[in-house]
Amino acid sequence: MMKRIILVAMVLSLSVSGLAQIKKEKKMESMHDSKSVMDHDNQEARAMIYADKMATRLSLNLEQKEKIREAHLKRLENEKDLKTAMLNSKDSMIEEKKDMMEQRKQIQQDFKDDMKAILNANQFSRWKGMHEREMKMNEKAYKLKKNKGDKIE
């Protein structure tokens, strides 16, 4: 009798773990198909929203606003390309991940350099403070999602 109970428990645990693996694979496929990469219209809208927000907060003129929209759009496209490369890469090699993190840091630095060229000194210092607060909030949100076990995008 005891052997049967153990056998049933083992079969049950194996079937549950097998179903979890299938569910994870389906989730990965759907992420590759739909949510992984933003379409161009969505990027345009995000760049425009960001430019509008910066124009309001930093008292930008129209020329600065347009340049910021273009810089943000360039940043989004570079991040999209990097994310696509990450998703297409099936390898989980540490070297490759480090290289992609360096590329992401370079994209962020290029954006910061673009902003410095567009804004005057006062506007840039205000933007830098806002940007750092935003990055801290994003980092906290990322950690919360990670701790909850939610899917991180």
The domain locations on the chain are: 41-148
pLDDT the model gives residue 30: 60
Sequential DSSP letters for 65-96: HHHHHHHHHHHHHHHHHHHHHHHH-----HHH
pTM (two decimals): 0.63
Per-residue pLDDT of the chain (153 residues; tens, 9 = 90+): 888 899 888 887 877 776 666 666 666 666 555 444 456 678 899 999 999 999 999 999 999 999 999 999 999 999 888 888 777 776 666 677 778 888 889 999 999 999 999 999 999 999 999 999 988 888 888 778 777 765 554
pLDDT the model gives residue 28: 62
Look at residues 72, 79, 67 and name the one whose alpha carbon lies nearest to residue 50: 72
